[in-house]
Amino acid sequence: MKGKLSINMVTAATSKGSVRSAGLSLILLSFFLYIADSYPNTELSNMGCEECTLRRNIFFSTDRPIFQCVGCCFSQAYPTPLKAMNTMATPKNITSEATCCVAKHSYETEVAAIKVRNHTECHCHTCYHHKI
48 compared with 123, residue with greater pLDDT: 123
**Please, are residues 77 and 84 in contact by the beta-carbon 8 Å criterion?**
no
Mean pLDDT of 103-131: 82
The Cα–Cα gap between 131 and 34 comes to 48
Mean pLDDT of 11-26: 70
The Cα–Cα gap between 76 and 98 comes to 6
11 compared with 34, residue with greater pLDDT: 34
**Please, are residues 75 and 97 in contact by the beta-carbon 8 Å criterion?**
yes
What does the DSSP 8-state code read for residue 64?
S
Contacts of 93 (CB under 8 A, 6+ apart): 79, 80, 85
The Cα–Cα gap between 80 and 92 comes to 7
Q: Report the sign of the C-alpha dihedral through residues 105, 109, 111, 114, in that order.
A: positive
**Please, are residues 119 and 68 in contact by the beta-carbon 8 Å criterion?**
yes
Task: Using the predicted structure, report yes or no on whether residue 131 has a pLDDT greater than 60.
Answer: no
Mean pLDDT of 59-86: 85
The Cα–Cα gap between 122 and 15 comes to 66
Domain 53-126 is of which CATH architecture?
Ribbon (2.10)
The pLDDT of residue 22: 80
Q: What is the mean pLDDT of the chain?
A: 77
Task: Using the predicted structure, report yes or no on whether residue 17 has a pLDDT greater than 80.
Answer: no
Mean pLDDT of 11-17: 58
* pLDDT tens digits, one per residue of 78-110: 888 888 888 888 888 888 878 888 888 888 888
| Nearest Cα to Cα of residue 98 among 77, 75, 121, 119 | 75
Residue 132's pLDDT band, with cuts at 50, 70 and 90, is very low
